[in-house]
Amino acid sequence: MTELLRKTAAELGELIAGREVSAAEVAQAHLDRIAEVEPKVNAFLHVNAETVLAQARAVDERIARGERLGPLAGVPVAHKDVFTTKDMPTTAGSKILEGWIPPYDATVTSRLREAGLVILGKTNLDEFAMGSSTENSAYGPTHNPWDLSRIPGGSSGGASAAVAAYEAPLSTGTDTGGSIRQPAAVTGIVGMKPTYGGSSRYGVIAFASSLDTPGPFARNVLDAALLHEAFSGHDVMDSTSIHAEVPAVVEAARQADIAGLRVGVVKEFGGEGYQPGVLARFREAVDLLESLGAKVVEVSCPSFAYALPAYYLIAPSECSSNLARFDAMRYGLRVGDDGTRSAEEVMALTRAAGFGPEVKRRIMLGTYALSSGYYDAYYGQAQKVRTLISRDFDAAFHQVDVLVSPTTPTTAFPIGERADDPMAMYLADLCTIPTNLAGNAAISVPCGLADEDGLPVGLQIMAPVLGDDRCYRVGAAVERALEDRWGGPLLAKAPAL
C-alpha cells in the first residue's frame, strides 16, 4: 500500500493545495487500490477511471491558476449509490433502477463537486437502503475488510468498506435507522449522522423521508468533520432543510477538550443480547471519558425500549409511499411490455422482478400499517411512541450534554447468518434507531476490538438537535486518547487485505 493511501484526508488536501502532490496522482493511487481489492470487497457498483482522472486534473488546473479552494479539494471520496449523479448510474442497489443515469445531481453531489472533491464512484448498499448488512443489494454483498466472511454493516456497507479498505479516504452515506453509524462501528471507522435537516435530502432516493439523513464516513474524526462541513447547510430544494448555520464541527474536532462535560450513559442499552466484548470496550470508553475530565452519570430513557417496533412501522409506511413511484411507466426497469398487457399488469410484473425480498417485505408491512382500519392502531401509535422518545431525549439533555452507548450490540456477524431471520437482522440497529426517530445528532467512533473475535467495536455519542459539534468534540477526545494508548489508529490493527 502506498504512503498516499495512508494519509488522512486533511493531509492529502494540504499536500494537493501546496502542490507537493497532484490530485491526479492521489486519484490514481486510489484507483489502483480499488483495482487491487475490489474482487474481494465488492464495495463499488460503478467506477470510471477516465472520469475520475478528469475530475482530478481539473482540480490541479484550478490550483495552478491560483484559485483558492476548500480544504478537501482534490481529495477522493466514494459516493453511496443512493445520491443522484448526472454522469454516473444511480441504482440504489436495485435491479429496478439498473443502468439509470439521472438528469440531475443531488445537492450533496453538487456540493462535493463545488468543494473540489474527486468522486471515485458509487458504492454498494442494501437495496433502497433497507438493511443492516449490505446483503440485500441486488449486486451481491459487500465484505468487511477486517474479515471477508463478515458483513460490513448496512445499509451503507459499501461506503464503510471502501474507507476501511483504503480504497477511499472519505465516503458519503445515509442514515435512516443507523445506516452510517452501524457500518462505521463494525468496520472500525468514524461515521456521523447529522441533525435531521442539517444535510440536504434533495436528490437522495427516498426510503423514509422523515428519517433519511446524509452524513460522512472517514478514518478519523477531523476528516469526518471536514466532509460534514463541505456538503451540509440549508438547501432551498429540500423543504425539511434547517434554516441554520452548520454547527462548528471542524473547530470542535480540533478542540477535543471535554473537561467538565456532562456525559450520560443510557441505562436501557446493555445487558441481554449484547456481546460481552462490546460491553467491555464500552465500559472502558466510559472510564476513559471520566479520566479526561468528563462527569459521567447514568440516565434512563424508558421509551427507547419501544423504538425498534415503532421504527419498523414508521419506516416501512413511508417506504411503501415513496417506492410507489417505481412503476415501470416513467424510468427504470420495464417487464412484460409486449403490447398485450395492461399498464397494471406491466407494473405488477416489473415490481415483482425489480424489487428484492426485503424491499417487498417492507412495502407490504407499510401498506398494511397505513391501510383503512389499521392506521390508528399501527402508524398512529408508532408516531406517539416517537414523541415519547423525543421527550426522553429532551429530558436527558437537561441533565447532560451528550449521551453515550455502544453503537451496536454485537460486532460484525458472518455473511448469511441472519439472512433468514429478519428480527435478528433488525436488532443490529437497536442502539441507533432512537436518534433517527428524534432527529438529533449522533456519531460512532472506534473504541477497540472485542475479545471474542478481534473485530471492531463502536462508541456512539448522541447530542441534541444542532449539537453536532458536541459529537465531534467528544469523539475527537476519545480518538486521541485511544490512539495514544494503541500507538496509532485502530485500523492499523486490521489484517492486511
Sign of the C-alpha dihedral computed for residues 125, 131, 133 and 139 taken in this order: negative
Q: What is the pLDDT of residue 256?
A: 83
Asked if the bond preceding 110 is cis, omega within 30° of 0, the reply is no
Q: What is the pLDDT of residue 331?
A: 87
All residues at 6 or more sequence positions from 253 whose CB lies less than 8 Å from its CB, including other chains:
221, 222, 224, 225, 472, 473, 475, 476
Over residues 98-106, mean pLDDT:
96
All residues at 6 or more sequence positions from 380 whose CB lies less than 8 Å from its CB, including other chains:
none
* Complete DSSP assignment for 99-142: T---SS--HHHHHHHHTT-EEEEEE--SGGG--SSS-S-TT---
Instruction: Give the CA radius of gyration of the chain.
Output: 21
Here the cell at position 352 is 415483482
Torsion angle of the four alpha carbons 207, 210, 216, 217, in this order, in degrees rounded to the nearest 10: -60
Farthest CA pair distance, the chain: 73
Q: What is the pLDDT of residue 418?
A: 96
Say whether 281 sits in a helix, a strand or coil.
helix
Q: What is the pLDDT of residue 202?
A: 98
The pLDDT mean for the chain works out to 97
Nearest 5°: the CA angle 352, 357, 362 is 100
Task: Give the amino acid at 385.
Answer: V
Confidence of residue 2 (pLDDT cuts 50, 70, 90): confident
pLDDT in tens, 313-355: 999 999 999 999 999 998 899 999 998 999 999 999 999 999 9
Q: How many CA atoms lie within 13 A of 123 on its CB side?
A: 34
* Complete DSSP assignment for 295-328: EEEEE--GGGGGHHHHHHHHHHHHHHHHGGG-SS
Here the cell at position 294 is 468528563
Q: Domains (ranges, CATH) in the chain? A: 3-301+402-493 (3.90.1300.10), 304-386 (no CATH)
Our answer to whether residue 22 is catalytic in this structure is: no
pLDDT in tens, 256-294: 899 999 999 999 999 889 999 999 999 999 999 999 999
d(CA 193, CA 198): 10
Over residues 98-109, mean pLDDT:
97
Q: Among the options 133, 156, 171, 179, which is catalytic? A: 179
Question: Above 90 in pLDDT, residue 113?
Answer: yes
pLDDT in tens, 116-136: 999 999 999 999 999 999 999
Confidence of residue 200 (pLDDT cuts 50, 70, 90): very high
pLDDT in tens, 46-81: 999 999 999 999 999 999 999 989 999 999 999 999
Using CA atoms, how far residue 12 sits from 155, 162, 173, 340, 368, in Å, is 28, 17, 21, 58, 50
Confidence of residue 372 (pLDDT cuts 50, 70, 90): confident
Q: What is the pLDDT of residue 271?
A: 86
Here the cell at position 70 is 476548500
Q: Among the options 7, 80, 122, 193, which is catalytic? A: 80
pLDDT in tens, 12-52: 999 999 999 999 999 999 999 999 999 999 999 999 999 99
d(CA 389, CA 396): 11
Q: Among the options 155, 232, 241, 444, which is catalytic? A: 155
Say whether 247 sits in a helix, a strand or coil.
coil
Question: Above 70 in pLDDT, residue 1?
Answer: no
pLDDT in tens, 404-454: 999 999 999 999 999 989 889 999 999 999 999 999 999 999 999 999 999
Task: Give the amino acid at 300.
Answer: S
Sign of the C-alpha dihedral computed for residues 217, 221, 227 and 229 taken in this order: positive
Using CA atoms, how far residue 180 sits from 125, 372, 458, in Å, is 11, 34, 12
Question: Above 90 in pLDDT, residue 219?
Answer: yes
Our answer to whether residue 80 is catalytic in this structure is: yes
Q: What is the pLDDT of residue 465?
A: 98
Our answer to whether residue 179 is catalytic in this structure is: yes
Question: Is 256 or 394 the better-scoring residue by pLDDT?
Answer: 394
